[in-house]
Amino acid sequence: MNEVLWHDLRQECAARNATLVAVSKTKPATDIAELYALGQRDFGENYVQELVDKHAQLPKDIHWHFIGHLQRNKVKYIAPFVHLIHAVDSMELLEEIQKQAARCQRSIDILLQLHVAREETKYGLDQAELAALLSIYNTAPERFANVRICGLMAMASFTEDSRQVRDEFAAVHQQFEQIKMQYPGMSGHFSVCSMGMSGDYNIALEEGSTMLRIGSMLFGKRN
Ligand SMILES: *Cc1c(COP(=O)(O)O)cnc(C)c1O
C-alpha cells in the first residue's frame, strides 16, 4: 500500500471536491485496514462474494462501492449494506435493485454506466438507452421509491491516446450536465460523475470527475 501516493491523491481530490474510492478488489482485508487506519473510508470492489466477505470482516463505517458489472441475481447479497452501485446498465437491473432495497427497507444510491469507450467489450448504456431509462425513472417515481440515481459512471478506452481519453471523459461530463438541466427534479442528488482510474485520473479530474476509482496505484499491481 502506498501511503505517499494516497496522501497526494487525497489532496488532489480535496482541491477539486472529488471523492477518492480506493479500489481494493483482489487485495486482502489487511490492505484495506491499513488505508482505513489513515482515514480512507470509501472502498470499491467488483466481485460480490469478495465484497460480502470483506464487509463482514471490516469496520462497519466503511462506504462500500460496487464498481463492477452486477448480475441481477446477486443484488440481494449486497443490498443490505452497499453504499453506491456504480455500474447500472439496464432497466432490469434498476428494477431488481429497487426490489431488494425495498425488502431491506432502505434506499440504495446508484450511478448509470455510460458506454463511451470504443472497445466493444465494455458494458454500459448508449445514448438512447440512457434517455429511455431516465425518462421512465422521472415519469414514474413511485416505481423507484427505494433507489436514487445519483449520477453517471464511465470508463474511457484503454489507449495511449490521451486526446481520445479526454474526449470521452468530456462527453460524459457534458451528458452529466445536460441531464441536470433536463431533470431539475433530480438536482438534489444527481451529483456524481464517477470517472478516472490509475492510468487516466489526471485527465478525468480536468474533465470534471467528482469521483475517482483508484486501484493499482494505491495497492500495487493485481495478479
Ligand atoms: C479495477 C477497476 C478500477 C481500478 O483500476 P486501476 O487501474 O487499478 O486503478 C476502476 N474502475 C473499475 C470499474 C474497475 O473494475
Instruction: Give the SS3 label for residue 2.
Output: coil
Most informative mutation of 23, 27, 51, 119 for ligand 1 (most atoms within 8 A of CB): 23
At 194, the pLDDT band (50, 70, 90 cuts) reads very high
- What pLDDT shows up at residue 92? 97
Q: Does residue 120 carry a pLDDT above 70?
A: no
Q: Is 31 within 8 Å of 43 (Cβ atoms)?
A: no
Residue 52's H or E segment, with its range, is helix 48-57
- What pLDDT shows up at residue 185? 87
Most informative mutation of 67, 116, 212, 221 for ligand 1 (most atoms within 8 A of CB): 67
What does the block give as the cell for 165?
Answer: 481519453
- What pLDDT shows up at residue 2? 87
Share of the chain above pLDDT 90, in %: 91
- What pLDDT shows up at residue 187? 76
Helices 162-182 and 127-139: crossing angle, nearest 10°? 20
Q: Does residue 203 carry a pLDDT above 80?
A: yes
Q: Is 18 within 8 Å of 205 (Cβ atoms)?
A: yes
- What is residue 114's DSSP assignment? B
CA distance 35 to 7: 10
Taking the centre of ligand 1 as the mean of its atom positions, its distance from the CA of residue 28, in whole angstroms, is 16
User: CB 85: neighbour CB atoms within 10 A?
Assistant: 26
The predicted-structure confidence for 126-142, as pLDDT tens digits, reads as follows: 999 999 999 999 999 89
Mean pLDDT of the chain: 95
- What pLDDT shows up at residue 157? 92
- What pLDDT shows up at residue 118? 79
Q: Does residue 101 carry a pLDDT above 70?
A: yes
Q: Which atom of ligand 1 is nearest to the CA of 217?
A: 9
- What pLDDT shows up at residue 192? 98
From the CB of 26, is ligand 1 less than 6 Å away?
A: no
- What pLDDT shows up at residue 186? 86
Share of the chain above pLDDT 70, in %: 99
Lowest-pLDDT choice from 30-34, 55-59, 98-102, 139-143: 139-143
From the CB of 199, is ligand 1 less than 6 Å away?
A: yes
The predicted-structure confidence for 35-91, as pLDDT tens digits, reads as follows: 999 999 999 999 999 999 999 999 999 999 999 999 999 999 999 999 999 999 999
Rounded mean pLDDT of 134-163?
95
At 119, the pLDDT band (50, 70, 90 cuts) reads confident
From the CB of 85, is ligand 1 less than 6 Å away?
A: no
Taking the centre of ligand 1 as the mean of its atom positions, its distance from the CA of residue 139, in whole angstroms, is 34
Buried b (16+ CB within 10 A) or exposed e, 18-56: bbbbbbbbebebebbeebbeeebbbbbbbebeebbebbe
Instruction: Give the SS3 label for residue 71.
Output: coil
Q: What single string gives the DSSP state of each residue in 153-222?
A: E----SSS-HHHHHHHHHHHHHHHHHHHHH-GGGTTT--EEE---TTTHHHHHHTT-SEEEE-HHHH---
Cα torsion 190, 77, 75, 88: sign: positive
CA distance 174 to 71: 28
Residue 108's H or E segment, with its range, is strand 108-113
Lowest-pLDDT choice from 118-122, 155-159, 211-215: 118-122
Q: Is 154 within 8 Å of 213 (Cβ atoms)?
A: no
From the CB of 198, is ligand 1 less than 6 Å away?
A: yes
